[in-house]
Structure 1
């Protein structure tokens, strides 16, 4: 059977149904100036849909299509449930290890058996999913339909993940699973990567949803001092007298309250603090920290405290105010240092950048999973973002070299010096388009982005990348 939308009457009925659903939402918006117009349009669409479905020939085609559609949707939903159940079992197994880590011990024999059982059950669910597809997916059209339905379900999940602050790609899940046991013991974590790669979002997600506490967040930029981070004395008026009172800073608050602290862009923090941080990174819950700013009075570190630090790559001339972290400081993080790559890292130039595309779609999808941009537009802008990210990160492999000048390639420098269509920039651009009510096109939004780039050579490279994907074809930069 042909794909649902490939049969004219089905394609028309589907389009009318989608438009009718949108129109009904507007008509229900009490007080909206468009409500009356929508009510009239709703009636016209309902008449049109009835005419389509009541025609005897159309009715037979639609009935067969709906039967096939039901099989596709049931297969997709059952497959998705198996995927979710598999993840749940894997999370249970990881939770057992995390609980042991929190208690500072290794797994006992009973726990090892439980973990083995949970992982075996998860593996069997994966096999059941494969068997389901072999049994139900008998044609190429049905396969495409199941994949499209699964993509829609994944999109809705991705939308909810973004609302919680982080798209859980394979890379993010891996870092979370591996780092969590150490974090629960109070060991520090270092996240390295390029700008806009979701390092801070990952640290916040780990703090809120994995460790279960709202973190203290300290930005490394500006003239922040060691006393501002740890605490300082302030003069206050009490009972008609002026007294000096010690006020804890975010680091001490996190220690005493048993909460994580995020040191954002730690390599932009003052050298005086980084020297003290060497010692602080060795402390664990239960230890006492002597506060020099408060006459050496000790603060007992409560369970739940952990330091999560982020740092931009140390690329010359790219990030202002960034100092190279000492080997001593980096070593304090031990094996808990993770490089956070841009989405789709390792993907070939010719492959579809699925993570960037999912991020863009999830950022503008409505609760039903509908996206106001076409699949073709999303894929093109996702590929442009992916290429810019790889060129910015220094990828000079096949396909990317056309965007890197010979001089930069010889010097081993990245193809983009300061600017990139990073994940957060991609989200901002598609949200601007989606939220404009049709007033701003994707091409126009990308043109505005390029015009805002200060570095002249970067503007040229970004224009070349965007034109390679069919954007800015009538614009000169």
Structure 2
């Protein structure tokens, strides 16, 4: 296969084609001066491409490259279809378990056999996919091209997932598959993890996509009261008279309407409410709840109600207003407690952080999967984010000592106390750079992020991590 980088004709054709695609989008913007300028540039670029193709030698090179490229893309599309087919089989298997859970029963023998069969077929499809790629693409360059095409397809899929609210990594898919049957029975769910790890996004996805209902969302804060969550009486005017009317709160609305409720940062809620929550977590659809705020009037809990709670890790000096949840409260969630790790958790510090890189690329990709930042920049910032996440989470793997003071390592404390390049922070930074039309560099945006860190030692550690990936080369070490 001809290399677009090594062959000057192909390199020029590829550069002109990319610029032409961008120029056409601007030219389609109407009659503004910029659109008129782009229209002129479009005509010039089309002329350059035509001139290349009019030359017989160049035309032969381009046609041969396009033929080989088409074969590579066909192989990539075939592999992607196999990926989707295997995923669909696994989703069918999960749906069998979910349907049984919705009926309040375990799998019958025939269903268990069906689930095993579906997973077995998915395993075979995935194995055949890898063999087919090797058989159809005989050169290393062709296989690399197919993998690059598959990566672009994956970026487009990830972009669509992010626009729906959640990047479906392997971790997220596993939690969704296991948690959904329990949620359909009305069992409560607890998602634990560090800040910015997509706990709330996962809870919203489970509510909207898996349960099919718009959730009630309650954000935790220290002075919220039980009456604000469950409901309270209000004075209203009725025909010239003032009457007391009971107004249901978000928790009671979710119960009566058969919708999930998300208690975000539940461990920031006051102890008064958490004591009430102990009892509420035991309720299931079909049962009744006596509303103390409404003179004990009982309401029947509709099918579809479930409680999804999120909680930040209980780490000293990190999350203000966070209390340790009692063992009694945690036990109410039973086996439905899930720790949501940062992307790429479990990798060594030297491994490629593919999930962080995919997240960064998908956050700024266009509808065709084109990413406006250089691949090297995205890989370096993704690795910096990954390292900071592992240091923040206290993952003492090989390489941890490079970014942690001896005192902290001996004390078993995380290398970062309060700040981290969390997934949502990574997204915000690359979006700022990509949306600046070249006015803001990635290095500058990362410098701004570090400057905004209030904790002096965290600034030092983050600067060290970023410099290890080639950023902040000219930056001074932040002073204590």
Same fold (TM over 0.5): yes
Q: Conserved in 1, the CA contact under 8 Å of 2:179 and 2:189?
A: yes
Q: Conserved in 2, the CA contact under 8 Å of 1:246 and 1:294?
A: yes
Q: Conserved in 1, the CA contact under 8 Å of 2:348 and 2:397?
A: no
TM-score norm. by structure 1 comes to 0.98
Name 2:325's counterpart in structure 1.
325
Q: Secondary structure at the match of 2:87?
A: helix
Q: CA deviation at 1:167?
A: 0.3
Q: Conserved in 1, the CA contact under 8 Å of 2:2 and 2:65?
A: no
The alignment status of 1:180 with 2:180, answered yes or no, reads yes
Name 2:99's counterpart in structure 1.
99
Q: Conserved in 1, the CA contact under 8 Å of 2:188 and 2:333?
A: yes
Matched ranges for 1:52-451 at <5 A: 52-451=52-451
Stretches of 4+ moved more than 2 A in 1? 1-6, 108-121
Query: Following the alignment from structure 2 to structure 1, what is the Cα–Cα distance between the partners of residues 175 and 32?
Result: 47
Query: Following the alignment from structure 2 to structure 1, what is the Cα–Cα distance between the partners of residues 470 and 29?
Result: 38
Query: Following the alignment from structure 1 to structure 2, what is the Cα–Cα distance between the partners of residues 385 and 189?
Result: 28
Q: CA deviation at 1:3?
A: 2.9
Query: Following the alignment from structure 1 to structure 2, what is the Cα–Cα distance between the partners of residues 225 and 288?
Result: 22
Q: Secondary structure at the match of 2:245?
A: strand
Q: Conserved in 2, the CA contact under 8 Å of 1:189 and 1:309?
A: yes
Q: CA deviation at 1:221?
A: 1.8
Query: Following the alignment from structure 1 to structure 2, what is the Cα–Cα distance between the partners of residues 309 and 373?
Result: 37
The alignment status of 1:471 with 2:453, answered yes or no, reads no
Q: Conserved in 2, the CA contact under 8 Å of 1:192 and 1:338?
A: yes
Q: CA deviation at 1:28?
A: 1.1
Q: Conserved in 2, the CA contact under 8 Å of 1:344 and 1:354?
A: yes
Q: Secondary structure at the match of 2:33?
A: coil
TM-score norm. by structure 2 comes to 0.98
Query: Following the alignment from structure 1 to structure 2, what is the Cα–Cα distance between the partners of residues 141 and 2?
Result: 9
Q: 1:149-179: per-residue Cα shift (whole Å, max 9, x none)?
A: 0000000000000000000000000000011
Query: Following the alignment from structure 1 to structure 2, what is the Cα–Cα distance between the partners of residues 3 and 384?
Result: 31
85-94 vs 109-118, which moves further: 109-118
Name 2:30's counterpart in structure 1.
30
Q: CA deviation at 1:380?
A: 0.5
Q: CA deviation at 1:97?
A: 0.7
Query: Following the alignment from structure 1 to structure 2, what is the Cα–Cα distance between the partners of residues 301 and 382?
Result: 45
Q: CA deviation at 1:298?
A: 0.6
Residues 128 and 396 of structure 1: CA distance in aligned 2, closer, same or farther (over 3 Å): closer
Q: 1:2-45: per-residue Cα shift (whole Å, max 9, x none)?
A: 43333221111011011011111111110333011111111111
Q: Secondary structure at the match of 1:369?
A: coil
121-130 vs 314-323, which moves further: 121-130
Name 2:51's counterpart in structure 1.
51
Q: CA deviation at 1:259?
A: 0.4
Matched ranges for 1:5-44 at <5 A: 5-44=5-44
Query: Following the alignment from structure 1 to structure 2, what is the Cα–Cα distance between the partners of residues 387 and 188?
Result: 33
113-122 vs 303-312, which moves further: 113-122
Q: CA deviation at 1:118?
A: 2.3
Q: CA deviation at 1:114?
A: 2.9
Q: Conserved in 2, the CA contact under 8 Å of 1:193 and 1:311?
A: yes
Q: CA deviation at 1:348?
A: 1.1
Query: Following the alignment from structure 1 to structure 2, what is the Cα–Cα distance between the partners of residues 14 and 367?
Result: 19
Which consecutive residues of structure 1, in runs of 5 or more, have no partner in the other structure?
none
Q: CA deviation at 1:222?
A: 4.5
Q: Secondary structure at the match of 1:5?
A: coil
Q: 1:236-295: per-residue Cα shift (whole Å, max 9, x none)?
A: 110111111111110000000000000000000010110111111110000101111111
Q: Secondary structure at the match of 1:6?
A: coil
Which consecutive residues of structure 2, in runs of 5 or more, have no partner in the other structure?
none
Q: Secondary structure at the match of 2:91?
A: helix
Q: Conserved in 2, the CA contact under 8 Å of 1:3 and 1:145?
A: no
Query: Following the alignment from structure 1 to structure 2, what is the Cα–Cα distance between the partners of residues 80 and 382?
Result: 24
Q: CA deviation at 1:351?
A: 1.1
Query: Following the alignment from structure 1 to structure 2, what is the Cα–Cα distance between the partners of residues 175 and 295?
Result: 39
Query: Following the alignment from structure 2 to structure 1, what is the Cα–Cα distance between the partners of residues 7 and 185?
Result: 59
Q: Secondary structure at the match of 1:314?
A: coil
Query: Following the alignment from structure 2 to structure 1, what is the Cα–Cα distance between the partners of residues 127 and 458?
Result: 48
